[in-house]
Structure 1
Amino acid sequence: MCRAQGDAVAGRRGWRLPGTVLLLLAYVGYLLLGSTAFWALEEPAERHSAQQLLQDKWELLGNYTCLKGPALERFIQGIIKAYKSGHTLQGNTTSLGRWDLVGSFFFSISAITTIGYGNLSPNTVSAQVFCIFFALFGIPLNLILLNRIGQLMLSGAAAILTRTCALVTGFLLFLLLPPFLFSVIEGWTYAEGFYYSFVTLSTIGFGDYVIGMNPDLTYPSWYKILVSVWILFGMAWLALVISLCITLLENSSDLCQCGKKKSKELEQELMDCNKNSSPRPDDVENGSSKDTKPEGAN
């Protein structure tokens, strides 16, 4: 029976994959899950939007026969290029202000925090070269500062609150409350504000929602500065949350390793059991001599 159990354990061990391979498979599976979900949710809307754009174009050309197709295409491309540079038409004037001191400060924050919304980027060669060196030294500085702020937040919270209460408080301050501010100033829904908050603090930074970019609104001078401070402390808090999640995953991996170690110990015990249960050559020889011994012998 011991031998049968040992064979079963050895068979299960042969089918185990290394932990790194399992992690890689889980990672690829998670990416495939996300790819399938986004494909199913976004592709129909994208197709509808493209069809609507073509329909609007042909209706415009049909209503205004003086317009020519190539000229309209060049005009549209010029509008897109101007919008990417931060310019929009407002009657007979254009909007400015993305590269004023406050706007440049907000861009600097988004650069060294690696958020990179993509809605604003340097256009001159000198600014692009400066941005390279600015980010090269600014990103490590930002990581050091975030680590220090996170440690201070954690130690300060430990003196007042438990770690769980500190995480819940941070969730309230950095994710649940800011969407109300964005709803008031930007006119977003609460869901859009919450989406922007998480995308920003996690440094995903898609750029589909960015504060202070609506040319029809007048923003307070303190708005971008306040959001910059919120980004700095919010990223430090979210880094703590991610670190906690990593710790939980590593602990679960340690539990698996502990289970494997116990399984190996059980396998070794079963192998020892097999060795002890099998007859030794000396025992076999002694048994044979006993069987062949004459009945009258002492």
Structure 2
Amino acid sequence: MCRAQGDAVAGRRWWRLPGTLLLLLAYVGYLLLGSTAFWALEGPAERHSAQQLLQDKWELLGNYTCLKGPALERLIQAYKSGLTLQGNTTSLGRWDFVGSFFFSISAITTIGYGNLSPNTVSAQIFCIFFALFGIPLNLILLNRIGHLMLSGVQRCAKRLGEKLHWTCALVTGLLLFLLLPPFLFSVIEGWTYEEGFYYSFVTLSTIGFGDYVIGMNPDLTYPSWYKNLVSVWILFGMAWLALVINLCITLLENSSDLCQCGKKKSKELEQELMDCNKNSKQIMPNQPNFLLWPGYWPSGCGGSCRYDTS
């Protein structure tokens, strides 16, 4: 019977792994769909803004002695939106396919850096429905990946022992998702290690301040694989950090239960002593201040109290 149950559990595990792969494929397909839509909706608007920015530049250079307010405001607005001038060209790439894919990741993971947002009405409406269905899909996938990581930790526990498996999981996760990625950001972005570590935690915890965002320096040329690698890192790093946060919640809840249990036991002991002292006063009315000496042992809370004053 135990063997049959073991075979059933193994069968469920084998079924669950393809299910996770199918869910991951659906997740990636959903991201590709969103990336294509944002690319098609925001790409033309970005190119139009770039042409307008170049035109405003030449107007300012031709009329710098009589600077016009509207032209300057358009330049400032373009700079805020992320467009920068590079000679006779502008820095595009925020809404190309790779940039749209990274925006899709930041949207459904609820990171929301804030440095990039859709400007056209059609893209804004699409973003609403994209996030509406994408956020639950992201949570389901993170939960499934978290369970797979947890099962891997449990398999390691059989080899390393119960005391070491959580240590192994925490150290491995720290290396892969928090300690090593800052080196990559230092090399490609030019950040310090501390800035890269700060960005890693702010991203994986979905705080997403937006003060540090990858791939946004117009003076740098980024590899084509860079944002895609960071997107994969975000997905698995969020699943690992969710396990760590759940572990912290469990520890805090257990410590709270222990404190409440200790308080409850202390109150019960205090009430027991008060009841026994009351019973002793009833037995010996001429001794109002009867003390519980070490030789005195109450025989239960409800029964008579025996004592030894020797």
1:258 offset after TM fit, Å?
A: 0.7
Pair 1:211–1:9, CA change in 2 (3 A): closer
The match for 1:161 is 164
The match for 1:212 is 215
After superposition, the C-alpha distances for 1:125-160 in whole angstroms (9 at most, x for unaligned) are 11111111111111111111111111111211x999
Pair 1:36–1:164, CA change in 2 (3 A): farther
Contact 1:201 1:234 in 2 (8 A): yes
Pair 1:61–1:219, CA change in 2 (3 A): closer
Ranges of 4+ aligned residues in structure 1 off by more than 6 Å: 1-65, 68-71, 158-161, 294-298
Pair 1:53–1:194, CA change in 2 (3 A): farther
Pair 1:36–1:143, CA change in 2 (3 A): closer
1:164 offset after TM fit, Å?
A: 1.0
Contact 1:61 1:68 in 2 (8 A): no
The match for 2:299 is 295
1:58 offset after TM fit, Å?
A: 23
1:66 offset after TM fit, Å?
A: 5.3
1:167 offset after TM fit, Å?
A: 0.6
**Which region of structure 1 is more displaced relative to structure 2, 125-134 or 68-77?**
68-77
Q: 1:97 aligns with which of 87, 93, 98?
A: 93
CA distance in 2, matches of 1:168, 1:2: 35
The match for 2:143 is 147
CA distance in 1, matches of 2:23, 2:266: 21
1:95 offset after TM fit, Å?
A: 1.1
Using the size of structure 2 for normalisation, the TM-score is 0.64
1:109 offset after TM fit, Å?
A: 0.5
The match for 1:74 is 74
1:161 offset after TM fit, Å?
A: 6.8
Using the size of structure 1 for normalisation, the TM-score is 0.66
State the aligned residue count.
Answer: 277
Q: Percent identity at matched positions?
A: 93
CA distance in 2, matches of 1:118, 1:49: 19
CA distance in 2, matches of 1:41, 1:67: 33
1:88 offset after TM fit, Å?
A: 1.1
Q: CA RMSD in A?
A: 18.0
Pair 1:161–1:112, CA change in 2 (3 A): farther
1:28 offset after TM fit, Å?
A: 40
What stretches of structure 1 of length at least 5 have no aligned partner? 278-293
1:83 offset after TM fit, Å?
A: 2.9
What stretches of structure 2 of length at least 5 have no aligned partner? 153-160, 281-297, 301-308
1:215 offset after TM fit, Å?
A: 1.1
CA distance in 2, matches of 1:35, 1:101: 6
Contact 1:2 1:273 in 2 (8 A): no
**Which region of structure 1 is more displaced relative to structure 2, 9-18 or 161-170?**
9-18
CA distance in 2, matches of 1:211, 1:150: 25
1:269 offset after TM fit, Å?
A: 0.2
